[in-house]
Amino acid sequence: MKLKTYTLKTKLIILYVFSIMLPLLLISQMILSIYQKQIVNQTIQLTDESSKQTSQNVENMLEEYSSLLSQFSFDDTLRNYLNPARSYENIEDSIDAYQYYLKPITYDFVTRNSTNSLKVYFLNETLLQGLGIYERVDESISKLDRYQLAVEHKFRTIWTREGNELYVSRMIGSLVGVPYGVVSIELQQDRLYALIGESNPRDKLIVILDEQGTVISSNDRSLQGSSWLGKSYYTQIRQEKHGMMDLNDNGKFKLLYRNLQGKDLPSWTIVTQVPLDTLLKEANQVRNTGLAMMAGTLLLSILFIIFFVNRMTNRIRNLVRVMSSVKKGTLTKAPESDIQDEVGMLTTSFNLMVDGLDNSIQENMRVQLSLKDAEIKKQEAELYALQSQINPHFLFNTLESIRMKLLVLPQNETASNMIFNLSKILRKALNWKHDIIPLREELEFVRSYLDIQKSRFRDKIEDQLEVEEALMDYPIPKLIIQPLVENSIKHGIERKKGRGHIWISVQSGHQGIEVVVKDDGLGIPPDRLAHLQETLGMRREERPERESIGIVNVHDRVVLHYGEGYGLQIESEEQLGTIIRIRLPRGGE
């Protein structure tokens, strides 16, 4: 199948699929793939930033402890009070020491820290222990790591883990390093945990390792106390200040690590482990959801397009179907809607065209019918005239008259005139080729006819013709006066006793030209006159067939030729005569 044969609807849908749907799907797929990679990259980047921040926060917290420890460790007055050489044999001296210094310097710590984690171990033998803070070094204390290591490393900050507790300690002593005691603070593990505990270990596992590779805190509390020494990558993460690596250990992971840096800070490592599988799963979920949404939306859009194209092409199809039927001759209009787009306008225009065509055809038919009718009437008139002229009765009468004239010789002239007139009539009847003739010719025809009739009835008929000379060339349809004259003689004068007069006048007036044929014959009976007038007032198609063919034929031909408003008027009074008027336009055509 070639593209040319596809319907407009198919073409539009193909256009939509190839120009919108497929590119959009392709672009979406590309965007979502890029987005998926971005998610992974950004998550790792964010995790790195977060790990850096966590590391910073841990450092800040530890520095806070270290700084607090320094305050105690380098406090000259405290050192003085704790000096083993100082005697507190008198108990009041101990009371004073606590009242004036040892107690006040711990206020701040006690107020800010909820647990009593500050310890000052002292070697002085006479100072009273007190406040739950100041404790004399006995055998058990001297064995504590936090004490031993602090004394061993002089004024260095020592970070120790004893059981599950973390301590930071520092020696208090003379400037030359003779120990007077050790100040120690237990780290609040809640604070440490608070820095890492917010994230879910399944999304992001965070562990803080001490220098022995033991987990000292983690957002997965079950890991606390476990050792990471055995991990293959342990050495690597301890070597660099910070970095990241890919890890395959029951799944894919990204491992980010940072080692704490600072003079008084412990050698701890903060490790963040991000499960890539989970991350990719989430990213895939995002992509699949995106694609599903896109497919759903496109499906919706294609349904919408099909619906829309259907609506549009249906209207075009309807128009084409109506056009075909018009082409076959059925003038049908296409159904119109209120949509005023191009198809709507085309439909409206087409319907207007069909309307116009219908009107033209109707008008044309009317004109054709009129012309046909006129032609028939003319032919009828001609035929009638011819029939009149050549009808046997007329001929017999004329010839009988001639014969009688010929019998009486003195009348041979009359007979000769009759023959002459008959021949003129016959000649005219036979030779009139044109429908329109000058008034003169019609009058000549009337004259010949009258003369024949006058010869026939001797002096029974008297006529009078009054015609303006200027009107003699006035063109008129042929045979419109002669039938009237014939009618006057035949129905008015012939059967009248005595002489009859016929007046024929053609005059020009304001309203046109008026031809009047008047007689003083028997007139028309009223009922017949009324019928005749009614017939003349009717339209031709309403009239009964072959009604008063003579007068009505004349009337019809005048109307057909000049239009409504022209034609015949009859006035008659019984025993007095009849007047027939023909109104014609001034111009003649």
Which of residues 89, 92, 564, 589 is near another protein by CB under 8 A? 92
129 interacts with another protein by CB under 8 A: yes
According to CB under 8 A, which one of 39, 44, 105, 131 is a site residue for another protein?
131
Q: Output the smallest distance, CB 24 to another protein, in A.
A: 8
Nearest-angstrom CA–CA distance, 52 and 37: 22
The 8-class DSSP code of residue 214 comes to B
Single out the segment in contact with another protein by CB under 8 A; choices: 99-107, 147-155, 200-208, 473-481: 99-107
Q: Which stretch binds another protein (CB under 8 A): 111-119, 455-463, 491-499, 543-551?
A: 111-119
CB 546 within 8 A of CB 527: no
d(C-alpha 350, C-alpha 342), whole Å: 12
For the CB of residue 133, give the shortest distance to another protein in the complex, in Å: 9
Question: Which of the stretches 114-122, 174-182, 276-284, 492-500 binds another protein when contact is defined by CB under 8 A?
Answer: 114-122
The least CB distance from residue 126 to another protein, in Å, is: 11
Examine residue 103 and tell whether it contacts another protein (CB under 8 A).
yes
Distance CA 125, CA 138 (A): 10
Query: How many other C-beta atoms can be found within 10 angstroms of the C-beta atom of residue 493?
Result: 24
Q: DSSP readout, 119-181?
A: EEEE--SSSPPBTTTEEE--HHHHT-HHHHHHHHTTTS-EEEEETTEEEEEEEEE-TTS-EEE
H helices within 74-123, ranges in order? 76-82, 91-97, 104-112
For position 293 contacting another protein by CB under 8 A, the verdict is yes
From candidates 130, 344, 585, 588, binder to another protein by CB under 8 A:
130
| Binders of another protein in range 327-366 (CB under 8 A) | 339
Residue with tokens 């003038």: 331
Judging by DSSP bridges, how do beta strands 165-173 and 179-186 pair with one another? Answer: antiparallel
**Of 129-137, 271-279, 415-423, 561-569: span binding another protein (CB under 8 A):** 129-137
Among 214, 224, 226, 301, binds another protein (CB under 8 A): 301
**Residue placing its CB nearer to another protein in the complex, 293 or 383:** 293
Is residue 24 within the footprint of another protein (CB under 8 A)?
Answer: yes
Say whether residue 74 binds another protein (CB under 8 A).
Answer: no
Whose CA is closest to 181, among 109, 93, 102?
102
Tokens of 244: 């990241």
Contacts of 243 (CB under 8 A, 6+ apart): 236, 237, 256, 257
Residues 6+ apart with CB under 8 A from 235: none
Segment interacting with another protein (CB under 8 A) among 50-58, 298-306, 379-387, 529-537: 298-306
Q: How many residues bind another protein (CB under 8 A)?
A: 32
Q: Kindly tell me which of 143 and 263 has the beta carbon lying closer to another protein.
A: 143
Q: Return the DSSP state at 90.
A: S
576 interacts with another protein by CB under 8 A: no
* One-letter identity of residue 430: L
Q: Which is nearer to another protein, 297 or 511 (CB)?
A: 297
Indicate whether 149 belongs to the interface with another protein (CB under 8 A): no
Q: Is 297 in the site for another protein (CB under 8 A)?
A: yes
* Binds another protein by CB under 8 A, chosen from 67, 87, 99, 324: 99
Backbone angles phi, psi at 17, to 5 degrees: -60, -45
288 near another protein (CB under 8 A): no
Q: Counting contacts by CB under 8 A, is residue 104 touching another protein? A: no
Q: Which is nearer to another protein, 14 or 339 (CB)?
A: 339
**Three-state secondary structure readout of 460-501:** CEEEEEEECHHHCCCEEECCCCHHHHHHHHHHHHCCCCCCEE
Closer CB to another protein, 294 or 552, in the complex:
294
Give the interface with another protein as residue ranges (CB under 8 A): 24, 91-92, 94-95, 98-99, 102-103, 107, 110-111, 114-116, 128-132, 134, 190, 290, 293-294, 296-297, 300-301, 304, 308, 339
